[in-house]
Structure 1
């Protein structure tokens, strides 16, 4: 591995490289590139290739990311339909503190106005995943407190090729994934679909409705590349996407007593709960090669997302969280309401009906040059982005009579249930990577200017505005990273950068964004049979922010909670260590190998000084919620390449505090130890059959208490499948 090769891999991979004249391929937008490119990055990086994903056949992004150190995952429904992903202490709720991208484009429904990721593409169709932390995240904002994750879609192949995959399993699980594409001359195309359904693993009291889902994704790509002999080389790629989901999911969990009796039970109050959503996306990318060392890449994008999550929100004048708390405290009436043995009026089932729009244009100019015998790779970029969320959320009222929900009324939406939130954001960034002998220095600057506003309506017809909020934020962020290549096998890295996460559009005037200063330092050893990354990190939060939502309401010091806007926790500190090991434990002369992959993360995070101006119910010394102190993932395999393979993955997550005080067992999740097994066999070089068992030993624990009660992980679930490439 040559140092020069490392430099150019790290520098040019993110920028849509169009190869020399013999290639007509426009690659997907990588933010890291291959695993080899990560060696010289001045920041923690983790790459899952398509081969890695196919070995385990996961369709839950939580399971896919469990091997990435420094990434925290909070399960909710067992399938990863609405993931909760955090990085290095950044809040995991609805992944709202992570810059989530697909092919380099922000993919949250409204990243600035309402960043909670209620939309997520079907993870089973991903072609690769990249996780980036450290100073390099300043290039991929707006959320730079933790890191960035880029999900790669299937690329257009250089020659006619396709794939068909079919899978069936327990609980009515069905999955189909197929794509076909080709390149002919200057033109290339790809058509793809991924479809997955399940009956679910929970049973609803007194109801025959299943608790599963039906999710469908469709992708189409069309690419044009200039002729090989053209004096001006360029390429265009159009990507169209559509997805739909119907899932019988709820916010209502279980009391601890009911969880321990049957973790897969669901109360009859949630019998009507159902999410129904549709997503449409379009992205047009353009590459212009301006010379051997200069290129301009641009993308215009628009995403639309509509959802109606019809779900129970309260009963008898009590919210779901309060009902569960009362039941845990021994309240017989609350238990009877949950069991369905006590009649109760005023069961509210809300249409959480929202329409999101996100659109923008971004451009990057990459230029490599030499000054004073120093090699530079500079990237200058800018983005203008607009997004909006329109909430019109009426409530249907029922009475629980003899355990059955009987319609009794309707409440038209006003106030917080009838509001529009908008954000306009200008972003600009400058990254200069300088090669000085064996030292690579990377300086980064980012500018964010965000104007957000929200209006609430006092009547269902929106004739009167009952409240207006607005907030303007401008920040300049800086970062510096360094990598020293001791040899082809050893490198040292260090970095510091400013973290930033804007508040949502319902924030009032003067609400500060979440801000931090983040440090990291470590070493990498990449030998012939062993790769080791060991990185320590420390984040000093000047302002720790929580965006309030129904899923994660903000507890207030005076009692009660709020489900919109933002509150400040004050100052906090997060520190820890990440360890990633990849090794070939044994290799036989006939090619039989025993691969190993290990990821371990140690983390401590707490409030160091609570905010005097905030109403949040936190105190100095409180722990940050949903942040495990220890977590680890180990995969051991036995494989004969191109013939067969088997992989055993063991994941451990220590119990987490769900509130800052963490005073008792009701404010913690359980320790979790789960083992997954996957095995595959090639019938021919192009046809593979496989089997998998998630949660081999059927270990179910309380993995979350948000939203509204104790929630289990997926029980033991087996599936069989076949995949054919052609």
Structure 2
């Protein structure tokens, strides 16, 4: 990938510096709804602009190119923290594998929300193994869309909390390109370069990003604790002449990424975290993630006229990864998983002494090759037609999708001995002897959404249909050649209709009320007869603009008849991915967003301020018992783990022709790591924290700018999670400087 980096830099630097500034296809329209003609939204986006987000019948948020450029974050956690209704708990400090929840869905590995890139499902195996061990690099995205509410029937299979769509860099209308590079603390750097052009009948884009760091944690045995990730994207488009009566276009997209990260599941005990939150025990020195991802997409667009479009996309995603990491430790014949050890180290003194490098025993340290391969492929088509009556506007959207995916686990365990703080291999494992199975899914999905506008009212009734077959073939730990000598299989089928309806009432040009009700759905696992996750979801909100104060306030209420939990190693479980019924749960809350320019009367300066608040309350309505390391024993009235009651974020900017500065703060309320009620026990709690970031840009001219960032300006030391095993710290204070060039 280093050769690729040099190639793209040379390509960019030899480009014409006299080219005009590129036309951003995702700019936010500034005209009022009365001045704009109805348009058909591209199949690659959910709504495509702030204007469309403000006029939907459900809650929606659009992070525009301008929003993303303010801080130039490469950490998706920091990007999404400004969106109300998004709950996140961090893990590695860089956002490599985020844990995202929308409106109280289970956040572990973002496995209960619909994740897409350019309108295509992007989780490694969205139906059969949705845990997002691959996540798109937000640093190369042009925009991010977050959709919640009744419009969920358009996007699935997860319709309870919402959908997030990453819009990759678009092919520009004219020859243009850019190079962004920065460097700073912990030997962290980011290089992002792209170039593209459009002619009468063709267009192209080539893009490369490298993001790397030595990491901010300190291994007892020495060594890096960071990562190195490459991304390459190539796009090509052919289209008919602009004057053709029927417009057609065929777009091809290829994306490749690789990652090597020295990341671990092994955190710290409470006492060690208090002494040094950035320490890493010696027993994690071999832990490393190696991953590769490829995406192939071909999209055909057929515009019969301005009111009728058919868009068809074929796609294939391939993802392979092997996270080589400490799984359990054995001493004196006693074996314990790392989560149990760090939760109560005093109960296992001999084992804990091995983890810290103070004792030695042959084969004590079991390091698992969590080796898995994923494929996700399918074809989807969307028909969109609209027409107008004398006082009405009508739009009908019909979508069809056939999708298949699978997860192939072929895992084994190597055993090590600790010798004076260094791990020596004592027994090499045999591939396939730990896990040897394939999980798969076949799904047919369809939806129809009808939009009716009449005077000040807009109504959007719709329904989604999902037909899913989930299966698993387990060859067993003895049949590493997969002859079928000890084969076990299982299959589960789901057939479900998911209705919803939303409305929007435009009181006047400055205020509107919206709301809706829809069915929430999440696919079950492959266990025979396991029920899916289902809920009834309601929301009611208002968007307003009074004297320059723009905002949105929404209340939501989700009534789960059957919440599903997952046995993920990332949440302290065994990693089987088996789901379990968690019963009835009520989730309700408030989302508030306010934006105002304190210098709105000043023609030269802008002083934008933004305030966001999210309140989320969760309550189990029934009893059940999960493994102690996941949710523990649940009784009626308990709160869900990992979901804080309160989140608050605020940002303040100063914008002028030559410079921009921004300050962003986030408050995360305390949350529990096991289900419970009342005051949170110290060993089941993550304390509240406040983090402040700063960004600045100085524009030398319209093509060249200097950039600077500070992460965690106050240098707060804080915990972000107690999973996968032990306490984990957030990113410490960091300073970064760079340059941004465009042509």
Q: Normalising by structure 2, what TM-score?
A: 0.92
User: What is aligned with 2:700?
Assistant: 683
Report if the CA contact (8 A) 2:245-2:304 is conserved. Answer: no
Alignment counterpart, residue 212 of structure 2, candidates 197, 201, 206: 197
Alignment counterpart, residue 381 of structure 2, candidates 351, 363, 367: 363
Structure 2 gaps of 5+ residues are 1-30
Alignment counterpart, residue 543 of structure 2, candidates 516, 524, 542: 524
- Whether 2:308 is the aligned partner of 1:287: answer no
Report if the CA contact (8 A) 1:314-1:349 is conserved. Answer: yes
Q: Deviations over 1:372-397 (max 9, x none)?
A: 95421110011000001101011101
Q: Deviations over 1:638-685 (max 9, x none)?
A: 111x41011110100001111102651111111110000101100111
- Whether 2:360 is the aligned partner of 1:343: answer yes
For 1:415-564, list aligned pairs within 5 A: 417-458=435-476, 459-463=479-483, 464-504=485-525, 507-527=526-546, 529-554=548-573, 563-564=576-577
- How far is 1:334 from its partner? 4.2
Report if the CA contact (8 A) 1:226-1:235 is conserved. Answer: yes
User: What is aligned with 1:24?
Assistant: none
Question: Residues 478, 372 of structure 1: CA spacing in aligned structure 2 closer, same or farther, 3 A cutoff?
Answer: farther
Q: Distance in 2 between matches of 1:598 and 1:211?
A: 35
- Whether 2:729 is the aligned partner of 1:699: answer no
Alignment counterpart, residue 384 of structure 1, candidates 389, 402, 424: 402
- How far is 1:591 from its partner? 1.5
- Greater shift after overlay, 401-410 or 452-461? 401-410
- How far is 1:564 from its partner? 3.0
For 1:26-175, list aligned pairs within 5 A: 29-175=44-190
Q: Distance in 2 between matches of 1:510 and 1:689?
A: 59
- How far is 1:590 from its partner? 4.2
Q: Distance in 1 between matches of 2:246 and 2:390?
A: 30
How large is the RMSD of aligned CA atoms in angstroms?
1.8
Q: Distance in 2 between matches of 1:442 and 1:413?
A: 52
Q: Distance in 2 between matches of 1:171 and 1:55?
A: 22
- Whether 2:646 is the aligned partner of 1:626: answer no
- Whether 2:279 is the aligned partner of 1:249: answer no
- Whether 2:350 is the aligned partner of 1:333: answer yes
User: What is aligned with 1:230?
Assistant: 244
Q: Distance in 2 between matches of 1:685 and 1:292?
A: 35
User: What is aligned with 2:737?
Assistant: 720
Q: Deviations over 1:431-488 (max 9, x none)?
A: 0010011000001100001101011112222223442221101110100100000111
User: What is aligned with 2:370?
Assistant: 352
Q: Secondary structure at the match of 2:297?
A: strand
Question: Residues 720, 614 of structure 1: CA spacing in aligned structure 2 closer, same or farther, 3 A cutoff?
Answer: closer
Q: Deviations over 1:490-514 (max 9, x none)?
A: 000111000011124xx31111111
Q: Secondary structure at the match of 1:344?
A: coil
Q: Secondary structure at the match of 2:342?
A: helix
User: What is aligned with 1:670?
Assistant: 687
- How far is 1:369 from its partner? 2.6
Q: Secondary structure at the match of 2:686?
A: coil
Question: Residues 614, 668 of structure 1: CA spacing in aligned structure 2 closer, same or farther, 3 A cutoff?
Answer: closer
User: What is aligned with 1:609?
Assistant: 622
Q: Distance in 1 between matches of 2:626 and 2:323?
A: 34
Count of matched residue pairs = 700
User: What is aligned with 2:342?
Assistant: 324
Report if the CA contact (8 A) 2:491-2:527 is conserved. Answer: yes
Q: Distance in 2 between matches of 1:610 and 1:42?
A: 36
Q: Distance in 2 between matches of 1:374 and 1:416?
A: 62
Question: Residues 372, 724 of structure 1: CA spacing in aligned structure 2 closer, same or farther, 3 A cutoff?
Answer: closer
Report if the CA contact (8 A) 1:571-1:611 is conserved. Answer: no
Q: Distance in 2 between matches of 1:585 and 1:481?
A: 34
- Greater shift after overlay, 465-474 or 308-317? 465-474
Report if the CA contact (8 A) 1:6-1:37 is conserved. Answer: no
Report if the CA contact (8 A) 1:164-1:177 is conserved. Answer: yes
Report if the CA contact (8 A) 1:489-1:526 is conserved. Answer: yes
Q: Distance in 1 between matches of 2:35 and 2:686?
A: 46
Structure 1 gaps of 5+ residues are 17-28, 555-560
Q: Deviations over 1:74-131 (max 9, x none)?
A: 1000000011111001111111111111111111110001000100122211111110
Q: Normalising by structure 1, what TM-score?
A: 0.94
- Greater shift after overlay, 364-373 or 164-173? 364-373
Question: Residues 691, 331 of structure 1: CA spacing in aligned structure 2 closer, same or farther, 3 A cutoff?
Answer: same
- How far is 1:614 from its partner? 11
- How far is 1:530 from its partner? 1.7
- How far is 1:339 from its partner? 2.0
Q: Deviations over 1:168-213 (max 9, x none)?
A: 1111111110000001111100000011111000111123x20011
Report if the CA contact (8 A) 1:416-1:456 is conserved. Answer: no
- Greater shift after overlay, 715-724 or 528-537? 528-537
Question: Residues 226, 562 of structure 1: CA spacing in aligned structure 2 closer, same or farther, 3 A cutoff?
Answer: closer
